Structure 1
Amino acid sequence: QAKGNTEILIPLKGSSIYGSKGGPLYDPVGGALLLKALKQNLDPKIPLREIDAHINDPEFADTCVNRFLHLFN
């Protein structure tokens, strides 16, 4: 259980190089099911942000840093 400010950021285009489009573990159905399960079971007080980027994309990293600074400043 989180004790402080918490947000969950989900990279919609994949969370590993192997799971990206064309990779050996690419599974858009599985990713959609994971996101659906998170939305259904996550405490409504915890924001879930869907980021239209891959986890290795600079825009995802920038979003993570910006959200961190927002939460902890």
Structure 2
Amino acid sequence: MKQNLGLGRCRCRTIQAQDNWAWCVVEALHAVLLVRQEQPQLTWRAAQRRAAQHTEVYVLTEMQPVSQQLHAA
């Protein structure tokens, strides 16, 4: 799991930074999985791009992330 999530090369020095990094990685994976659920025909790479676009819109506009919108519904 550590290798698949890219946690093996975490360069964070404090335990809090490592914890934050791990949560960011898990949230990113979750965002890609949500995109794949909505649009199963997308390749993994295309789903990554779409999830990144959703995240960029969220960060720039302060909207709720897609995962929170789905949980609220």
TM-score (norm 2): 0.37
- Structure scoring higher RCO (CA < 8 A, sep ≥ 6) equals 1
TM-score (norm 1): 0.37
